Structure 1
Amino acid sequence: MEPTHIVIRTEDNRIFYDMPELSPCNGCGACCRTMRVSFYQGELDSLPGGFVPTHLTTQVSPFIACMKGTEKGGQPCIALQPDLRCAIYSQRPSTCREFPAYLEDGSPNPRCQELRARLGLNAPPPG
């Protein structure tokens, strides 16, 4: 059985999530269409060690940037493609990497379910 998500532990003990090819996130994009995607500016590719394309972001404060389109929430991220996949998946900010569709016990993330319901989408199947 294909995993619901792939858990990646970083050296600083953060947890990032990667989605397998078959994922309930495919064709959804609820989080990308409704949440403000803000993150520490050190992730911008214009800074040493950064990787998020700066031209796709808006400066929110001296230390925080967000993906264009998500400044006020409720609007889609500029990187969300028509097929509801991320155009910069390998360069997506930590906010996106840290948002799980499923909790550690395999149950759907309640926040994900709430966002999906807001858009009239079914809850993801149990992990």
Structure 2
Amino acid sequence: MEDNACTRCGACCASFRVDFAREELDANGGTVPEGLTVDLNDFTCRMRGTDHASPRCAALIGTVGVRAACGIHEWRPSPCREFGLRAPMGLGDEACARARARHGLPPLPH
């Protein structure tokens, strides 16, 4: 993972609920560690910790805005992959700016 403001921020991992299809779980042939999730129904699960009043994904390691990283980056669920498509370039978008503002951080360039 390239070292840039986006990939070491972690604000998105401590701002949004992360729901995804149960097929993405390692127990079902996917890659996301089942132990880091909670079941929602027969079809959907959620990353543990992302539905709290102060969300923080159970896979997040470090301090938001200082030095943070996804502990399962290689195995993260599709919503995280989609959110981070621009991460290798260190670019932010509106959702990124909201997450960063929630933690008192300035927005990244678009």
TM-score tier (shorter): 0.7 to 0.9
**1:12-91 correspondence to structure 2 within 5 Å:** 20-47=1-28, 49-72=29-52, 74-82=54-62, 83-91=67-75
Check the 8 A contact 1:101/1:109 in 2, yes or no. Answer: no
Aligned length: 104
- How much identity, in percent, do the aligned residues show? 42
Indicate the structure whose relative CO is greater, using CA pairs within 8 Å and at least 6 residues apart.
Answer: 2
Query: Is contact 2:91–2:108 with CA below 8 Å preserved after alignment?
Result: no
Match of 1:94 in 2: 78
Which residue identity lines up with residue 41 of structure 1 in the other structure?
A: R
User: C-alpha distance in 1, partners of 2:32/2:53?
Assistant: 19
Gaps of 5+ in 1: 1-19
Structure having the higher helix fraction is: 2
Q: For the pair shown, which has the larger CA radius of gyration, 1 or 2?
A: 1
Contact 1:101 1:112 in 2 (8 A): no
Runs in 1 of length 4+ with deviation above 3 angstroms?
Answer: none
CA RMSD of aligned residues (A): 2.2
TM-score normalised by L of structure 2: 0.82
Give secondary structure in 1 for the equivalent of 2:70.
Answer: coil
Given the two structures, how large is their TM-score scaled by the length of structure 1?
Answer: 0.72
* Residue identity matched to 1:89: H
